[in-house]
Every structure is written in structure tokens, then in C-alpha cells.
Chains A and B, each alone.
Chain A
């Protein structure tokens, strides 16, 4: 970024970002410094990419006209903790309206690729058209600025995400990688392909400790464009951490939001996985396709039970003190750490274990490992499999695929392998596609075509207004459990005011755990922007930019043909209330109808004129 002002609100045009547009059809490149048009452009991420997507009328995700935009946030690669995010934006092959149009989508991932990308001198990379042959893209820092080369990628085809990264790592020093797996290569039959991002831990240990931009099939879009991998090669350029930023980091680590995520030995709750312990007393942990039965099955994956047989190690991304995930390894007979199995993050863990009837931690870990290595979105994959298992439970005489049932590890494993290899489009194209094929849509747990996260929809009506996946783009998923809020007006405020701000993290380049309770419109963020870039921004202005970006996302959904009737929970939730959930029923038809009316009353006014 070229920053020539201290006032990005009044003079966004004095901030320029370096963008390269590559036409994959002929290899032509255009490198330019683009003046920002508004604060959303300055902050970056989806705040910028969605403005570009709004300029395109795209009717098919897999089309030459649909661009793939890769960018970072202003704080990616900065001194701010968690500043690692890379964003992949495009019209999605899996999320789309019933009218048949694809939805604009972004997906974010950590790892160190984003930093290297930025340190190479690039802020945004746009791919137009598609390459005839498989290529990987080398983004290299030179004294004259970033140099970008398309290289043949045949030797990478058919390799897992991890193997692709390790192969490229042998060739490129001081580089990080963003790759697709076999799933993305088989984009025709897999619309849930993810992008895997290399981590420092992975390159150092040789274990498949990757991070993912999983949601919305951005890996499948990459596959369609015939881009197999991205390599960002640059020297590290850590800005010095000022005492003001150090103070912010102290607040981040000790503050409410990240306290639960800290390792237990540091006085924390032990990572995102600890959500199990909090939700189970309400029987709100998703079990067997989001239908908990009031029993204690979910407890088998409580940490206290897993650690009896497995080694658990708290883990963090590069220079992050939050330490939100855990590595699970075999435990040797002498109690020492054995082979690495997988990482446990709450969402992939639940959706590839308890919610598909798997309660053995080792089996859960192996399924996560497979999903990661094939490069699929764990949420979409887990939920589509749980739909198939639920279908088979209802139709034992005429089951789908290999007849897998809840808890049948071997058969579920086979489904994942076949899906990852592109041989099972019934799973690979997601739960909406499968449920519509089978003519039984009530218990397909997607909203607007995208599978929901590992929080019961009964606990989160806010899912309906999430613009890019249930928990990353509407922070209301814990509200009922945490606060017991059960009146419509409180929920209107939650959705239209408080919790939409979570999307700000997907603009600025940070993880939501930086400050999950308050979002990015805070003094903490203002301090980081001042410290690293000498920018003066009032938190209120940041908040306003985040709101505008969110509303643009909502406007884009409507433009892509979504009707308001599509902003609804899966029918099973409203029609067959689950009596085992120990929480107020806020997903009944009356509540939802009143909520929808009042939420749209707020949003409708602000949506007018957003898209010409």
C-alpha cells in the first residue's frame, strides 16, 4: 500500500493499493497502483473485493467471466497479532439462490501465506478467464516490485494439499503457499473445494498442520481456473512492535474474547474445542445431523475424555498468542507424544465426529485429516455427509451411496475419499444439491445453499442473515446459549446492530478472536492502524465502513436472485421442534416471522440504492 495521508476517511484516494490482474487465457498482466475509493477499500479483504464483484453480472460460477480475487487486509503482515489473513473472493459454485444464480462469496484463512504475499509488494491479485493448462503462480519480491510468473503445474496434480505444499517448499526458500487438493482439481464434481494455506509449524515439522480458507468453494474456483497453487516468496518484514501495540496485544490475550481460547496451562479454556463443554449441558452440541437426543454422547469428545488416550498440544499460528487450536497425536505407551493425527478446531471436529455419529477421537482426527488433505471445506463436507446418513436412517431399504449410517467409520471414510477424488458428486456438490435430488429438503442443514456451522439453528436465527457462512459473517451463534435472549426485539438488535460487525475482521486482516466481543470498531484497532501506518481513524468510522460492507453483501445476495423467503432456517427446525434442547424455543414459525419482518424493516431502508 502507498499511504500518502493520515486521514483515510476524508482522503481514501491518497492511499493506493498494488493490484495485479492476470488474464489466464493469454497470460497478460496488468500491474497498477489503484487509489482507494472509500474506507472499505482501505481496510481491504471482502470490503474491497465485494465492490469489484458488484460490478460484474455473473450467472455461472464456473465461467470465464467470474473473477477470482485474492487479497489481504490492511493489517495482514503488520505488527498486530493475528494479522495473517488472506481472502479469496469470487461468485461461489456452492452458495447460490434458488433462482440459479451464484452468490458473491469470500473465504478467509490464516497461515503465513498472506504475510508473504503482502511482503512481496502485492495487495491484490485478480485472475480473469481460465488457463488452458494447469499452472501455479509464483509471486516474487524483486527490487522493482512484485514479479508474477505462471508456471506449469502438472507435477503437482493428484497430490494432497499437504504434499503439494511440501513439494513446492523444497523448491522455494523463504516462501509460503496456498494450494488446492484433489477436490479442487475435480471442481466439476466438488463445489466445496477449499484453499489450504501453509503454516510455519507445517514447514518446520513436515506434519500436515495447515490452515484453510474453506468456505464457499473458493478452492473449486481455483481449480476451475486451473490454478493449482500460489507461491509467495519474499523476505520477512515484521514492522517493529511499538509499546502501544504491545499494550493492545496484552488486552487481546487477557481480554474476555480470547480468554477461553488460551491453553489451559496459561489459565484459559483450552481452544475452540472447549465449546463442547459449554453447549452440552443445554443438549445443544450437534449430534447425528443436528438432532441431539438429550443423551451424553457428545461428552465422549470432551477434552477430559480425549486426553486419557491421546496427546493434546495447544497450538497457535505464527506469532499469535491466542493459541486457539489443538494438535492431537497418538500417545505412546510411555505417555510420550506419538504420531500427529490432526488438529482439533471446534467446527471441523464436531461436524466430522459427533454430528455424523463418530465418538472416537482417533477416528474423528483421521476423518479431519482426510478432509484437510483432499482440500474440502470441513463444514460443507461434514454437513452433506450427515444429511446422507440421515437419509439412510430414514430409508434403510433403499439407502444412498454405500449405505453408510451414523457412526459407521469405514463407510464414512470411503465417502470422504470418493468425494475428495471427485468420484461422488452427490456429496461433493453439497447438501442442497443432494437434498433436492432426493426430494427431501427439510433436514438438509444449509441456509441459502451454504451448510451451517456447528451450532444448532435452534440457537441461532441470525444464520439467515449471515452473508458468507453461518458463523464467520454473523456473530450471533452463541447468543442464546450465552445470554438466554429470547425476545424478538433483542434478536433484531443482535442481528442488525451488534453481531454483523464480526465481518470487519474479514476486511482488516485479523482473526475474529482478536476481539470477538467488540469487533474492529475499537480503540485497539485504531491504535494498530496509527502505530503501523500513522493513520488516524475514529472507531465509529471503522464501524460505519464495516456496516456498509455488510449491507453491500446483503444487497448482492438479493441481486443474485435470493427471495426473502430463502432467509429461513432448515424446515425440520421449525416444523419438528427438538424437545431435548434445554433452551427457549426461538425458532418457531411465529418468532421467525416476526423477526424477519423487523430485521428487514431495518435493513431494507439501508439497502436502497446500494447497487445501481
Chain B
């Protein structure tokens, strides 16, 4: 299946902004996080098709997954 992955903030450094990636059916968000070596301590927000999700949520063909760093205070 094809998943569009959109990265934000520091996750873009040495990776990409937006890319469509191929994944086996049944893959969850954690699989993408692991493959892209996203630092877990910085990962704050995961969205599937703009809806908040958690790392165990299963992805489906055509989904857009957004990964954003933590948001804490100014």
C-alpha cells in the first residue's frame, strides 16, 4: 500500500518534507517511525488524514501520515 508521509520541524533534517512510501498492508505508525528513525523523545503528534492517532494505529492504502515534534510552551 502507499502511504504519504509528511514530516515537520526537525524531523525534516536529513529526511524529507513529503514523500510517498510503499508499506505492506497492516503496517502501523510505529513501523514508519522505526524505518525513518524518528527520535521518540521528540515525537509529539501523529495524525492520520489530519486526525490525531497513536503509534499502534494501523495505516491504510492512500493514508497521509503526519509526524510532528512535541509542542511544549513558549
Contact = CB atoms under 8 A, between A and B. Distances in A.
B52 A260 contact: no
Interface stretch (A54-62, A176-184, A265-273, A599-607): A265-273
B26 interface: no
B65 interface: no
B12 A304 contact: yes
Contact of A259 (B45, B51, B66, B70): B70
Interface stretch (B27-35, B36-44, B55-63): B36-44
A278 B68 contact: yes
B24 interface: no
A254 B74 contact: no
Given A259-B41, A277-B9, A516 B73 contact: yes
A471 B74 contact: yes
Contacts of B50: 582
A20 to B, nearest CB: 33
Interface residues of B, number: 22
A269 B74 contact: no
A274 B10 contact: yes
B73 A269 contact: no
Given A256-B41, A278-B68, A582-B50, A264 B13 contact: yes
A335 interface: no
B41 A254 contact: yes
A275 B73 CA distance: 8
B65 to A, nearest CB: 12
The A interface, classified by DSSP as helix, strand, loop or mixed, is helix
B42 A269 contact: yes
B19 interface: no
Nearest to A254: B41
Nearest to B13: A264
Contact of B73 (A259, A267, A512): A512
Chain A interface residue bracket vs B = 35 or more
B8 interface: yes
Contacts of B12: 304
Nearest to A517: B72
A345 B12 CA distance: 21
Interface in A447-488: 453-455, 471, 475, 477-478, 481-484
Given A275-B71, A275-B74, A516-B72, A260 B42 contact: yes
B71 A281 contact: no
A340 interface: no
A261 B39 CA distance: 14
A257 interface: yes
A88 interface: no
A346 interface: yes
A482 B47 CA distance: 10
Contacts of A347: 74
A241 interface: no
Contacts of B39: 267
A474 to B, nearest CB: 12
Given A268-B42, A278-B44, A484 B52 contact: yes
A278 B73 contact: no
Nearest to B8: A277
Contacts of B70: 256, 259-260, 269, 278, 482
B30 to A, nearest CB: 18
Contacts of A257: 72
Nearest to A273: B74
Nearest to A480: B52
A256 B72 CA distance: 9
Contacts of A260: 42, 44, 69-72
A277 B52 contact: no
A260 B8 CA distance: 13
A269 B8 contact: no
Contacts of A304: 12
Nearest to A258: B72
A513 interface: yes
Contact of A279 (B66, B71, B73): B71
A268 B44 CA distance: 12
Contacts of A350: 74
A278 B11 CA distance: 11
Interface of B: 6, 8-10, 12-13, 39, 41-42, 44-45, 50-52, 66, 68-74
10 contacts: A269-B69, A272-B73, A274-B10, A277-B68, A279-B71, A345-B74, A453-B74, A455-B74, A482-B70, A484-B51
Interface of A: 254, 256-261, 264, 267-270, 272, 274-275, 277-281, 304, 345-347, 350, 453-455, 471, 475, 477-478, 481-484, 512-513, 516-517, 582
Please name the 3 residue pairs, one residue from A and one from B, whose CB atoms are nearest each other, closest first: A346-B74, A484-B52, A277-B9
